[in-house]
Every structure is written in structure tokens, then in C-alpha cells.
């Protein structure tokens, strides 16, 4: 495979702001304040607010076709028509990324991916992202489930390899596993939640990293929510994170050029 499409993007195009708020009005209010952000994530909270597809269309119109939308519902299941209808709706709205979550047994995961890819056909989007391990889980959580032979990073590498072999486009990866996954999967899209600048609280993420460290380790896109959306000045908070990402990209590119 050739160079990843994200390879030459700036920090502004790599930052995905999570609109994890309960109403469409609140979400659109944030979008209006964030004129320096072009990519937004919508998830369960806005789904529960109703008419998610209508909201996505309104969001796209507010940006006049610029930027992108990441629909993070982690859908999965054995009903192919449901997955197909979801992908078709996302294609109609030009959604950039969607998450599908892994199921057990693994055959259900591969069927879910296969249905999504078949529905997408030759279209470029939405890209299918899978979640090897939620960022709210840790090594202790794995051990509590009886998984004692590997740590969280090794678990994500093993699961990630299976998920990518199943046909997905990329992985949701956080913490120290970012570097390990980038090394193991050089051509996969890596989208990283659990991003917390040094000046922000860790909240409920157990595997956190700063924007600069995530970029240096090889993330393509960073998902940031509360450090921006709960800031007194969301625009300024987003700018600080974008600037940090751009500095890290410059450093990463310099290392690659001299390597």
C-alpha cells in the first residue's frame, strides 16, 4: 500500500472534536464557536436526542461541505440489513468515519465488517474503524475478565491484527499502544481518543496521552472532547491543541526526513 491519505494533513485537519452533549442546539452552538475546527464526532448522546441523520446533515451544511463527520455508535450485530442501512445513510451524508465494535464470537465481527464493506462498494467513505479495546479499560480490567496472558497493548495488537485482516480501514487506539500499533500496522488509519493536554483533567480515560505524544507515536487523528467543549473558551482551547499537534508533526516529519 502507498502513503496514507492522512500523511500530509495539518493539525487542524487531524483534530476531531467530540460533540458529546445532550441536544442538537448545544452541539451546533459549540460548532459555531469552533470555527477553527473542521472535523466533529457524534455519538450516543446525540443519537438519543433523536433524528441523528438530520443533525448530521445540518452539521455538514453549516460547514458548507468542508471538514468531516465521524459517527461513533460502535454498531454491530448479526442483522446485515441494519448494518447495510446504517452504511448507506452515512454514504448519503458523506460521513468520513464510522465505528463498528467487535463481537464475540469473532465470526460475528467479520460478518459485520463484510456487510459494511459490501454496502460501501467502491466508495472511499465512510472508512470503517474498529475498537480493539476501549480507552476506559486498563490491564486491571483485562485481568478481571480472566485475560492474564497479555497486557492491554499486546491485547490490542492481537485484536487489531484480526480486525484489519477482516477488512476494516483502521483502529481506535489510545495510550502507549499507539506507537506499537503504528509500528505493527504502518498503513492503517489510527484514530486516538483519551487525548488530554497537560493542562486538562484525565476524566474517565485510563490510557491517556498528550496531543504531542500521540502525534509523535503515529496517530493520524486525535479525538478530543471535554478539554475543548467544557472550556470557558472552546476556540482558544482547540487552537492550543492544534498548535501542539502542528509542532509535533513538524518534529515527526523532521525525524522521518533524517531517518
**Residues tagged active-site:** 74
Q: How far is CA 174 from the centre of its chain?
A: 10
The cell for 244 is 501542539
CA–CA distance, 251 with 245 (Å, rounded to integer) = 10
Strands 170-172 and 189-192: parallel
Radius of gyration of the chain (CA): 18
Closest CA to 125 of 179, 164, 71, 63: 71
- Determine if residue 65 is left, alpha or beta; phi over 0 gives left, psi from -120 to 50 gives alpha, anything else beta: left
d(CA 173, CA 213): 13
Burial class (CB in 10 A: 0-12, 13-18, 19+), 2: exposed
Amino acid at each position: 500500500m502507498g502513503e496514507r491519505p492522512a500523511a500530509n494533513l495539518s493539525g487542524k485537519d487531524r483534530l476531531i472534536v467530540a460533540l458529546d452533549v445532550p441536544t442538537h442546539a448545544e452541539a451546533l452552538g459549540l460548532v459555531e464557536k469552533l470555527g477553527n475546527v473542521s472535523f466533529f464526532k457524534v455519538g450516543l448522546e446525540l443519537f438519543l436526542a433523536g433524528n441523528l441523520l438530520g443533525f448530521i446533515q445540518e452539521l455538514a451544511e453549516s460547514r458548507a461541505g468542508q471538514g468531516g463527520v465521524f459517527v461513533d455508535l460502535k454498531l454491530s450485530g448479526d442483522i446485515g440489513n441494519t448494518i447495510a442501512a446504517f452504511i448507506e445513510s452515512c454514504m448519503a451524508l458523506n460521513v468520513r468515519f464510522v465505528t463498528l465494535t467487535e463481537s464475540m464470537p469473532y465470526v460475528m465481527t467479520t460478518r459485520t465488517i463484510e456487510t459494511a464493506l459490501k454496502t460501501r462498494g467502491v466508495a472511499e467513505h465512510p472508512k470503517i474503524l474498529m475498537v480493539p479495546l476501549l480507552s476506559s479499560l486498563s490491564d486491571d480490567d483485562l485481568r478481571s475478565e480472566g485475560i492474564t496472558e497479555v497486557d492491554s497493548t499486546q491485547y490490542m495488537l492481537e485484536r487489531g491484527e484480526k480486525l484489519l485482516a477482516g477488512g476494516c480501514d483502521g483502529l481506535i487506539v489510545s495510550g502507549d499502544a499507539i506507537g506499537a500499533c503504528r509500528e505493527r500496522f504502518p498503513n492503517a488509519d489510527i484514530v486516538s481518543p483519551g487525548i488530554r493536554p497537560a493542562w486538562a483533567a484525565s476524566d474517565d480515560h485510563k490510557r491517556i496521552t498528550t496531543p504531542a505524544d500521540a502525534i509523535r507515536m503515529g496517530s493520524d487523528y486525535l479525538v478530543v472532547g471535554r478539554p475543548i467543549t467544557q472550556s470557558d473558551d472552546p476556540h482558544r482551547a482547540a487552537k492550543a491543541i492544534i498548535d501542539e499537534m502542528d509542532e509535533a508533526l513538524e518534529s515527526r516529519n523532521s525525524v522521518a526526513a533524517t531517518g
